[in-house]
A and B are shown apart, each in its own frame.
Chain A
């Protein structure tokens, strides 16, 4: 446990991302690698001209025009990115992180994170990025794709950092949350913090039994565990519990369903991220 990969785009969430990163790093004495992506979004056209005609060398002229236009724009983006990374380094070092490295890369966040996370133990990113519309409760465009693609736990930073004092594991009995429990027990990350273990949805004796099993495992690992089972819609039950018990970190398995199914029935994960205003540690 000694390497954290932090993704930033310098948006509204950035300061909170750095604070979450600094907290996570301090728990385990980790080095932090801050990544800023320059994605020129070439799938979108910046220039367009509906004159619809073809003259002598239209192709070559078009190429020159596009290159010149993007040159200016992307040089600015690069400078801005440098400033963002400088700011990240300053804030992280001020928060006591000793080993900070920064990196600026061209390309898409999702592909880059999948390549970079090999040697990281935790990925930190913000709930929303610069392109997301806060008012509509839309989540960051990259968030779901990164979580789905990532093989590491992803800490999704909320807008404001609140010191983390107690955490809740949304225990749905699925394989991802089993991974989460393993991670909580094995890493120094959440050691010593009070743990709530919550099972929501349909409650029967089997669910109850599994919940107690997990609670017992965590107690063996010297966690102070409160296990509860509450019937009801998982998203509602969990966000209610988060508010009521003063939970400052939610741990859950993410995106148990395929995209197709999600399209039809919606996703608890997305719902949780929208309604809970606490950071979430996601396992996929």
Chain B
């Protein structure tokens, strides 16, 4: 299956994939370096990870043209693990994350993305953008006006240069110009070289130096689970964005497994866990990247650049990387969602804002999404419960009343259902017509029981008619009103 569309997925867009990959690599480097620093490891850990993840997911991922590498969202989850237990445990957690992601793909959890509503997704990207932005702020600490001026100048280059030429990536011009200024003026700005070790060779295979026991598992498991969730969420969301932009389809479960495989490779080659990147993927599509080749080139070019031009990379001022990352955060944020706050239903906006707030407070996208999904589910349940109507009719002079129930009966609507009957009225027979209703769960069956038994106690004959097949099965299994002993006379109902 993997080789079915091999040529098409790799070689149908070669020149543009090559160039787009190179453009994207320039935006990958700042994220890998910046977030390695935030995670508390050498930049080489992030750069090796970006290389491994991009290259492996180019082959095994489920979405051609999507860019995966070391990301901020994941790095933010590793900080305490690295601080308290060290780098080797990070590699182990990365391996475990990869393993879980492969399992997720195996069990087809990629399809579960449908439970994440649009509002939660918007909340996710906004929170991510805010986190990326906030992660840049420590770079300004203990610096003078030169840092602010350099970053502002960098952003100006990034946004103004494309008005004159679109042939050269403006982030590249930003990096080159800022480096030149920093070298020529000797302002003593902090550079990439000051932040830790850069890779000087290709990554080598190494086994994490940890005791392989339950204690280790207990340490890494609480990190591997959120890493798995956040990695898959961002990857699947990014895949959806590419699907929409290019009007093609992706294989979400294959993406889960591909992501897992890339993380396992990353963990064995001295890299940290990563996932797909929304901003860089948009840059790729914009630059004309469509095929797997673009992802591959992005990863490979990144490493070539670092290994071959290492001495030059070292002198890049952090200000240039900060400017690029601020651009990524601006590009990731959904600005339209601010405008939509007024138009969208209040509950959707509330879900979105809550997701953002929880993430910004916890620095954990997994918790934010969990809360968001829960809120959307509850608000949906509340709305779906409104889709229930009970009509009632009694013919003049007759001793019989008919209730007609329509809509969804489940735990939320069950109490409203039970309240809708008039038990004070004295009639001989009551017919409950449920042919246009559906009983979803045992709560709704329990309230039907309650209603029927209550009428029966009053000596009223009750007739439930029109149960659909699924509801009837449920009634048969769990209801008590239709079983012997619940009432002496079965034919009464």
Partner-A contacts on B (CB < 8 A)? 8-9, 12-13, 16, 19-20, 23-24, 26-27, 64, 158-159, 161-162, 166-172, 241, 244-248, 279, 282-283, 285-291, 327-328, 330-332, 334-336
Contacts and interface: CB of A to CB of B under 8 A. Distances in A.
A66 B243 CA distance: 13
A163 interface: no
B170 A62 contact: no
A79 interface: no
A56 to B, nearest CB: 5
B330 A49 contact: no
A50 B290 contact: no
Interface in A44-75: 44-45, 47-60, 62-63, 66, 70
A52 B245 contact: no
B245 A50 contact: no
B19 A48 contact: yes
B239 to A, nearest CB: 14
Nearest to A65: B286
Contacts of B244: 63
A62 B286 CA distance: 7
Contacts of A49: 162, 166, 286-288
A42 interface: yes
A43 interface: yes
A59 B64 CA distance: 17
B85 to A, nearest CB: 35
Nearest to B20: A48
Interface in A14-44: 40-44
B332 A54 contact: yes
Contacts of B166: 49-51
B9 A54 contact: no
A50 B172 CA distance: 11
Given A48-B16, A53-B170, A42 B287 contact: no
Contact of B13 (A40, A44, A50, A60): A44
Interface in A72-89: none
Interface residues of A, number: 24
A41 B8 CA distance: 10
A46 B466 CA distance: 58
Interface of A: 40-45, 47-60, 62-63, 66, 70
A30 B279 CA distance: 56
Contacts of A48: 16, 19-20, 286-288
Given A49-B166, A53-B327, A42 B246 contact: yes
Given A53-B327, A54-B282, 4 more contacts: A42-B247, A48-B287, A53-B162, A53-B170
26 contacts: A41-B12, A42-B248, A43-B12, A43-B13, A44-B13, A45-B20, A45-B285, A45-B289, A47-B288, A49-B162, A50-B20, A50-B287, A51-B161, A51-B162, A51-B286, A52-B23, A52-B169, A52-B172, A52-B287, A53-B158, A58-B331, A59-B241, A59-B282, A59-B331, A60-B336, A66-B246
Contacts of B16: 44-45, 48
B168 A54 contact: no
Contacts of A40: 247
B286 A44 contact: no
Contacts of A43: 8-9, 12-13, 64, 248, 290-291
Contact of B171 (A52, A55, A62): A52
Contacts of A55: 159, 330-331
A66 B27 CA distance: 22
Which of A41, A50, A55, A62 has the most C-beta atoms of chain B within 10 angstroms of its own C-beta?
A50
Contacts of B168: 50
Given A53-B171, A63-B244, A44 B327 contact: no
Contacts of B248: 42-43
A51 B169 contact: yes
B336 A57 contact: yes
6 closest A-B pairs by beta carbon, nearest first, are A54-B331, A48-B288, A52-B169, A51-B162, A45-B288, A52-B23
Nearest to B331: A54
A149 to B, nearest CB: 11
Contact of B170 (A41, A52, A56, A70): A52
Contact of A54 (B20, B167, B290, B328): B328
B287 A66 contact: no
Contacts of B8: 43
A50 B288 CA distance: 8
A51 B282 CA distance: 12
Contacts of B158: 53
A107 to B, nearest CB: 12
A55 B163 CA distance: 12
A279 B99 CA distance: 54
A54 B283 contact: yes
